[in-house]
Amino acid sequence: MKFIVSRDVLYKNLSAISGVLGTNSTLPILDNFLFTVEGDVLTLMASDLDATMTATVQLTYVEGEGAVAIPSKTLLETLKLMPETPITFDIDVDNNIIKFNTENGKYDSSCFPGEEYPAIKIIEDPQSFEIHAPILQRAFSKTLFATGSDELRPNMMGVLCELSSDNITFVATDAHKLVRYKNNAVKVNDSTSFILPKKPITHLKSILVGVNDMVKVEYTDNAHHIRFSFDNIVLFSSLKEGKFPAYQAVIPKENPNKFVVERKDFYKSICRVGIFSSQSTFQVRISLSDVKTVITAEDLDFSNKAEESILGSYSGENMDIGFNSKFLREMLENLDSKEVALEMSQPNRAALLTPTEQDSSEDLLMLIMPVMLNY
């Protein structure tokens, strides 16, 4: 089997699919890319069993057909250091040797039979919808940071996707913070929901940057697998098992105390004051009144203390409420409006953080649990 491919085209596509490769794979074959040539099309594949990505490349010169697994690390590192040039791949399937040559270099590497590589599962009779890539990328960007990392709660280690006749909703939570992103760009007749695993969609988020195509999403009724397709890329993934927490129940409906503030000012103040907070709790106190708002932090173990006043508009009863500054900072980082509203009911109840202005097609809400004040 022999073919010629551009270095830039090959490196771009291998880089795009390499994010699903595992770091400590139980199957050595998964440390390789699968190259499959059929006709004049080269299909590149990477997998960690839970997720598989493919990219297709049109070839202008090819002899023979077949499949071979090529060590991913060796190939990627070589291509990274190589300038743009045509590369000729000559694969000796019988002896498991691959030669790839350029005008100025010759490289030999071992390879493995393609049939050893796990095949992609087939999604039979899938349901599907299409979503604009920037919307999907934005949904993942707004929610992924709030996913959990506790392996004892695997149902929180992903993003819930809910489909309905009104909108598409993405939700993530780690029990300390929660993000809900709705967009009415996608509507389906039959409501369903599934939990998208964190690793593959984190990678999908990164490669969707700058993409302006429609993404086709296919899934099954029993919701075990999902497939995203756009341009020449396909991501196939298993879905998280289990039931997502009943998030609607924790979103407070009545929040009479409201603080509206410039997002960047609030973010910078939380960052500065948070430096002086306890490194075990990262607690900051926000003292709210109609006269002024004060943010304080204290670490008694190291005699650290900080206090800042911040300009904003507050309506409601005087209140002192505590938050984990790291969580609050993360949420403010992932908002992009000029102003944000912090809405509260009581110091021991969940607070809501929302942008004051949103696109008519969007509804973004963030929830943060308060911490008990200890000073």
More reliable by pLDDT, 304 or 152: 304
Rounded CA-CA distance 190/80 in Å is 46
Are 2-116 and 127-248 equal in CATH topology?
yes
Burial of 47 (0-12, 13-18, 19+ CB in 10 A): buried
- Can you tell me whether residue 157 is helix, strand or coil? coil
- Can you tell me whether residue 266 is helix, strand or coil? helix
For residue 272, is it left (φ>0), alpha (ψ between -120 and 50) or beta?
alpha
Helix, strand, coil shares of the chain as percentages rounded to 5?
25, 40, 35
Pull the structure tokens for residue 47. 């997998």
In the prediction, which pLDDT does 223 show?
A: 61
Architecture of domain 251-368: Roll (3.10)
The ranges assigned to domains in the chain are 2-116, 127-248, 251-368
pLDDT band at 106 (very low <50, low <70, confident <90, very high): very high
Instruction: Please state, as a whole number, how many other Cβ atoms lie within 10 Å of the Cβ of residue 301.
Output: 9
Q: What is the pTM of this model?
A: 0.94
In the prediction, which pLDDT does 232 show?
A: 97
Average pLDDT over residues 331-356: 97
pLDDT band at 375 (very low <50, low <70, confident <90, very high): low
In the prediction, which pLDDT does 157 show?
A: 95
Strands 66-71 and 32-38, how do they pair? antiparallel
Domain covering 2-116, topology = DNA Polymerase III; Chain A, domain 2 (3.10.150)
List of residues 6+ apart from 23 with CB closer than 8 A: none
For residue 330, is it left (φ>0), alpha (ψ between -120 and 50) or beta?
alpha
Strand partners, 159: 196
In the prediction, which pLDDT does 220 show?
A: 83
1-45: pLDDT as tens digits: 999 999 999 999 999 999 999 877 778 999 999 999 999 999 999
Q: Is the pLDDT at 374 greater than 80, yes or no?
A: no
Lowest mean pLDDT among 118-127, 317-326, 327-336: 118-127
DSSP state of 158: E
How much is the mean pLDDT over the chain?
95
The CATH H-level superfamily of 127-248 is DNA Polymerase III, subunit A, domain 2 (3.10.150.10)
More reliable by pLDDT, 220 or 328: 328
